[in-house]
Copies of this chain bind each other. A is one copy, B any other.
Amino acid sequence: MACPLEQALAVMVSTFHKYSGKEGDKYKLSKAELKELLTKELPAFGTQMDEGEFRRLMNDLDHDKDSEVDFKEYACFLACVAMGYNEFFRDAQRPRKK
């Protein structure tokens, strides 16, 4: 059986394809597909964004400006979200100031 980290990477890939195949290019996320992925798969993140924040995120992720998010752009995004989780994890470990 695959190790937890290998399973985690496999989930990253399968989640991308679960949504990218719905419309347009099978290997890219359209704006609607990205929105659905974030809302359903990263609710702690996806449900907090309003339309303006979502447009800015889409713009930031879409490095090659083709109005879609490819796997590389998606993986870099998840790395940034993981960094946010990591900061949260580190702060929780720091002793509280009395």
Interface residues of A in 58-98 (CB under 8 A from B): 71-72, 75-76, 78-83, 85-86, 89-90
Residues of A within 8 A of B (CB): 3-17, 27, 40-44, 71-72, 75-76, 78-83, 85-86, 89-90
**Can you list 18 A-B pairs, Cβ within 8 angstroms, ordered by A?**
A4-B41, A6-B43, A6-B44, A7-B11, A8-B8, A8-B9, A8-B11, A8-B12, A9-B82, A9-B85, A12-B82, A13-B86, A71-B82, A75-B80, A75-B83, A76-B76, A78-B79, A79-B79
Give the 5 A-B residue pairs with the shortest CB-CB distance, closest first: A8-B8, A75-B79, A8-B11, A5-B41, A79-B79
